[in-house]
Amino acid sequence: MSKKRRSFSAEFKAKVGLEALKGIEPIHVIAQRYEVHPVQVSQWKKEVTQKLPEVFAKPSVRVRDEIERDRKEKDLYAEIGQLKMELDWLKKKVARLGTEERRRMIETEHPKLSVARQCKLMELPRSTFYHHPKPPPEADLALMRVIDETYLAFPFFGSRQMTRWLQREGYEVNRKRVRRLMRLMGLTAIYRRPSLSKKAAAHPIYPYLLRGMTVERSNRVWATDITYIPVRGGFVYLCAVIDWHSRMVLAWELSNTLDASFCVRTVARAMASYGTPEIFNTDQGCQFTSAEFTHPLLAAGVRLSMDGKGRCLDNVFIERLWRSVKYEEVYLRRYETMVEAHAHLDAYFRFYNDRPPHSAHGSQTPAEVYHANTPSVAAA
């Protein structure tokens, strides 16, 4: 059986080393007295001899070195704490971005950060970064167009009634497929739901401010919403901002992803061109309740108003705009690309604002009514 290895304290080693350094007794005698090996005694003597000069070093030098070491250590811990705080702050900001924005921020050729590490910092699954979704089948795109046309005529149709309607029209569909496509298009039946006062946990919901209000001038109330636009091989999303009184389209934008960023850009362009409204009305979609969308408006002093859940008539004028856009432009064409859709929609919105008189204003166009109420903006 092997003997257990012994360990000695620093004080014991110093004591034995000093005894050997005195030179009064032989190493073997000292080793026998302290029950250690002579080689160890010799080694401890050598260490004591080497370290004794440090005892007589100038105190100021030692103190200065210790102070410098402590300072560096303190600065290092402070920097680590600062970096951790900044990383936590950045992660909260990144969490508000959509998946597509985070994917675009990944640098595959970064010399030091791997894609896996960047995905972790962005809180983006690596599989999501590498995933390239396939375009929906042509049959689904054709059916989505029919569903969209039907929904415009009957917005109270849910997936069950929509399925029955399509089956009567000769389409071989089941409810599961119809429900999936309606979810993809962001369509839900319009009816009053119970527990409308419940708010989403993640985003604040603002009250509806337009009930009973008479809007008699431009820039008092603006409204926005998102709708689905079919193009060859897929679909895109259209966001528009209108002036509630004049019905004028102030800004619009197309996007191939349903996130808050293109809605924020649309509102920013409208405010840059036409000033700031008193009230801004939206529905309760996650794009409009996100901090990315609400914070710039609140910072500009705009009061936020949101439709009651499932109440399309709370934002009736922009719902009426979508009906006009679909029947007067979108359904008359088949857009091959997003660029083509943008060009035709740009021409249509110019026509909508400036040429035909709006039914709500008699012989005046939306642009004429808007500028008549805002002469300073019209002059600009």
DSSP state of 25: S
Reported confidence tier of residue 300, pLDDT bands at 50, 70, 90: very high
Burial readout 29-54 (b: 16 or more C-beta within 10 A, e: otherwise): ebbeeeebeeebbeebbeebeeeeee
- State the pLDDT at residue 174: 95
DSSP for 317-334, please give it. Answer: HHHHHHHHHHHHTGGG--
Q: Among 121-130, 184-193, 293-302, 339-348, which is the least confidently predicted range?
A: 184-193
Q: What rounded mean pLDDT belongs to the chain?
A: 84
**Is the confidence at residue 133, as pLDDT, over 80?**
no
CB 163 within 8 A of CB 174: yes
- All residues at 6 or more sequence positions from 336 whose CB lies less than 8 Å from its CB, including other chains: 231, 232
Q: Is residue 343 pLDDT above 90, yes or no?
A: yes
pLDDT exceeds cutoff 60 at 273: yes
Query: Residue 316 has what pLDDT?
Result: 81
Q: What percent of the chain has pLDDT over 90?
A: 32
Residues 198-256 pLDDT 10s: 344 556 889 989 888 888 899 999 999 999 899 887 888 999 999 999 999 999 999 98
CA-closest candidate to residue 279, choices 220, 205, 215:
220
pLDDT in tens, 75-97: 888 888 888 888 888 887 777 77
pLDDT (average), residues 258-264? 89
Of the ranges 143-152, 266-275, 303-312, the best mean pLDDT one: 266-275
Query: What's the rounded Cα separation, in Å, for the pair 223 and 289?
Result: 14
| Closest by CA position to 268, among listed 255, 253, 284, 254 | 253
Tell me the per-residue pLDDT of 110-127, one tens digit each, with 9 for 90 and over.
Answer: 888 899 988 888 888 898
With contact defined as beta carbons under 8 Å apart, do 128 and 118 qualify? no
pLDDT of res. 58: 60
What pLDDT is attached to residue 62? 63
Q: pLDDT of 360-373, one tens digit each?
A: 777 899 999 999 87
How confident is the model at residue 60, as a pLDDT?
A: 61
Residue 152 scores a pLDDT above 50: yes
Third-level CATH fold of 221-379 = Nucleotidyltransferase; domain 5 (3.30.420)
Q: Are 251 and 269 in contact (CB under 8 A)?
A: yes
Q: What is the pLDDT of residue 198?
A: 39
pLDDT at 309 over 50: yes
Residue 48's pLDDT band, with cuts at 50, 70 and 90, is confident
pTM across the whole model:
0.58
